[in-house]
Structure 1
C-alpha cells in the first residue's frame, strides 16, 4: 500500500510560511537576503534540527539537511526547492517544493523507515531573479556554473557586494570552492513545483512528470533612430525608433505564434530615450526572450526574427544592434528517475502527464552533477508570480504522495 503524507500538517506549513513577507495586497515579498528571508531561514533550519537532521549551510548559503540512511548505498537522494519569492508573489512557488520535501522526510521518520541512501533536503538561495542579476544563484553557484571571480564581483543596484549579503545569511564567499567536494555524493535530485501554466488544468490532471526544461535565449536589442521635434518633423521625414520597435515586437509575436511547437517569444522590458512627450524617440533598448524545447528550432526562429527585423529597420530608416545576455540550451532530465516517478504514479493509479517545463528551475542546474527530475502540481488558471497563485490541497496531496513513493522507489532501485 502506498505511503501518504499528512496533508493538514503540510497545509499549516504553507499558511504559516506565507506570513513571512506578506503585504497589504495579499502577496508575499521575500527576496533573498531580506529581513523576511533571514526569518524564514532561521525557522526552516530550526525545524530541520528538531527533526534530527544534520544541517549544513554552504558557501552560497544554500541550506542542506541530512537524514542518515543505513549506509548500504553511498551518497544521497536530494529533495527540495527554494523559499525566496518574487515581489508580491504567491505562497506556492518554491515554498511548496521545499515544504513538501520537509513533510516527506517527516513522514519517513514517523514511519520508522531507514533508507539505504542518505536523504537530503535543500533550500536553494536566490532562485528567483534578484537585484544581483543572478537568478537560480544558489544552484548555479553550487554546480560551478558561476565562478568565484564572478561571485566576488557581483553587487546589487545599491552597490552592496554579494559577498557581504551572503554573510548576513551564514554564507561565505571564501567557502565557495568547497562546494565542489559535495558534488559526487548527490546521486539523485527531485524537485516539486507548481506548473505555472495551464497544461495540467486543460487536461484535468493533477500531476506532471517533467522530462526536460526549455532552453532560454535572451538578447539586449538597441534600435537607433533620430530624436527630433514631434511637431515640426513631418511624418515622411521621421526615423522613429519606437514605431520601428513596435513593429519588431509584433514580428516576434507573429513568428513565434506561427510555430507549431510550444516555443514562445517575449519582449517584456523597454527603455525609451529621451522619453519625452514632444520628442520623437531616438533610441529604444529592449530585451528579446525566446524559450523552446528544441535548440535547432530556437536557432531557426531567432534567424527568422533577425531577418524580419532587418527589413523593418531598412524600411523605417533606423538601425539595430544586439548583444546576447543568455544562451541556455534545453536540459534533458534523467530518463531513469523520470521512469521511476512515472511508475510511482501508475502504481497509485494516478493519471499524469509528461512534458517539458517552460520555466527554468534549480533542477536544470542540478542535472549537471546528479540524476534529476521534477514533479509539477496543477496551477489553477495557470497563475503564478502573483497573489492569485493557487493549487488545491487535493492536487498537492496527490502529487506529494507520488513523490514520496517515488523517492522510496529511487532509494530501492538506484545503484
Structure 2
C-alpha cells in the first residue's frame, strides 16, 4: 500500500456512524489510483491523455462495473457509470475529476470520484434499486495542467467546446488536444456526440476538499457550498522609462516597478471594502528589461479577482482599475489595461443546498455555509442544472501540493452526507 495512504488509514479509529460504509473498498480504490503518477516529493502528477491517466481511468471503470454500473467513455475521455433506477429516463449525476496539477496532492478531484462511488454503492446496498437513475461522472482535464484549458470535460458535456479548440490548445511539447486524444485511442472528430441533453439530469452533486483553511480552523466537518466565485483576470501594464541605474537621479526616474509595487500593495486592502467573500490576488509580475543595473521601464501585473456575486466583483474590478490609473498618473507613467478571462460566478441550487444542510444536521456533523473561491466542474453544471456541492476540510488549508491532507474520518463523513443527500434528492424529485 502507498505509504501515504497507509498513514491515512492507520490514523483512523472506527466510528459507529461509518459502520455501514464500504470503507475497505473505498480505501483500496483510493490507494490504487494514488499509486499511479506518484512523485518523489510525495505528490501526484496525472495529466490527461497520458499513460498514467489512462491507467487510472481503467481502474475507475472496473470499480464502476463492480458496483453494478453500466460504463460509457465518450469520444474525448469523459467516463460515466450508471445505476438504472425504477424511472430510467432521468438521472442524478455525481462527479468530479482524477487529473492533477503538477506534483499535486492525493485528494483534489480524486476524492470526489471515489467518494461518489462509495456513496452510491452504500446507498444501493441499503435501499436497493433507486427511484431514479444515478450516474457518476469522471470529467477529463478539469485542472488544465497540460493544455492550460481547465474544466474541459464538463464544458464539452455542456456543449461549450468547439472543434477548433481541440487544435488550438497545445502542451509544452506542441501536442494539440486532438493529437493527444488520438494517441489515447479516443475520437476527437466525434466531439459533437459528447454534448449531453442536460434535460435528462435531475441535478449534479459534487464532493471536494475545501482547498482552504476555514473548516479546519473551526473544527467543522462539512462545508455547504452556497456559490462558486468566478475568476476575472486583468493585466495592468505600467510604462515609464528604462534608464541607467547609476546615472539617473532618483527624483527624475519613471520607475514602472515602483508604481506596480504601490499598486500591488493597494490591492490587498480593496476586496474587504466590497464583500466578505471578495478576493484579489497578484500572482504574476513581468518586469522589463529586468536588468540589475537598469531602472525598470515597463512592468506587467496580472490580477486575479473573484467573488460569488458578479455585480460586486465588477465593482471591485473598477476600483482596482481606478487605483492603477491614479498611481500611474501620479508618477507620470502610462497605463494599459487588458482584459483576460471572465468566468461568471455561480450560485448553488437552494433546494440542494438545503438538503445538504439537513443531511449534515441529521448526522450531527458540524457544518457551515460557505463560498468556494476555487473553480470546479460544479460551476459549469451549475449554470445548466440544479447543483449542490459538499466540502470536507483541508488540513492547514493546503491544496495543489503534496502537503494536501484530509483525514479519513472527514472523508467518510463527506460520503455520509453525500449518501444521505442523494437519497433526499431522489425521493423528493417529481418529473414534470
TM-score by length of 2: 0.90
Q: 2:42 aligns with which of 26, 48, 56?
A: 26
- Counterpart of 2:13 in structure 1 is none
Structure 1 vs Structure 2 CA RMSD: 2.0
Q: 1:160 aligns with which of 175, 197, 216?
A: 175
Tell me, yes or no, if the aligned pair for 1:2 and 1:405 is still in contact at 8 Å: no
Q: SS of 2:95's equivalent?
A: strand
Q: Deviations over 1:307-365 (max 9, x none)?
A: 11112112222222122111222211111211222222222232321121111110010
Q: SS of 2:361's equivalent?
A: helix
Alpha-carbon offset, residue 258 of structure 1: 4.4
Alpha-carbon offset, residue 275 of structure 1: 1.9
CA distance in 2, matches of 1:318, 1:138: 43
Q: Which moved more, 1:43-52 or 1:263-272?
A: 43-52
- Counterpart of 1:388 in structure 2 is 403
Alpha-carbon offset, residue 266 of structure 1: 0.3
Tell me, yes or no, if the aligned pair for 1:128 and 1:135 is still in contact at 8 Å: yes
- Counterpart of 1:60 in structure 2 is 76
Q: SS of 2:89's equivalent?
A: coil
Alpha-carbon offset, residue 111 of structure 1: 4.0
Q: SS of 1:350's equivalent?
A: coil
TM-score by length of 1: 0.94
Q: SS of 2:194's equivalent?
A: helix
- Counterpart of 2:246 in structure 1 is 231
Tell me, yes or no, if the aligned pair for 2:157 and 2:196 is still in contact at 8 Å: no
Q: Within 5 A, what are the aligned runs for 1:5-404?
A: 5-71=21-87, 74-111=89-126, 113-404=128-419
Change (3 A) 1:327 1:401: same
Unaligned runs of 5+ in 2: 1-15
Q: Which runs of 4+ in 1 moved over 6 A?
A: none
Q: Deviations over 1:233-291 (max 9, x none)?
A: 22222222211111111111122244451211101012222222222222222311111
Q: Which moved more, 1:367-376 or 1:170-179?
A: 170-179
Q: Deviations over 1:186-242 (max 9, x none)?
A: 221100000111221233210012121112211222222222222222222222221
Q: Deviations over 1:135-193 (max 9, x none)?
A: 11111222123333333422233321111112234432222212334422222110000
Q: Which moved more, 1:323-332 or 1:100-109?
A: 100-109
Change (3 A) 1:185 1:203: same
Tell me, yes or no, if the aligned pair for 2:168 and 2:176 is still in contact at 8 Å: yes
CA distance in 2, matches of 1:112, 1:215: 38
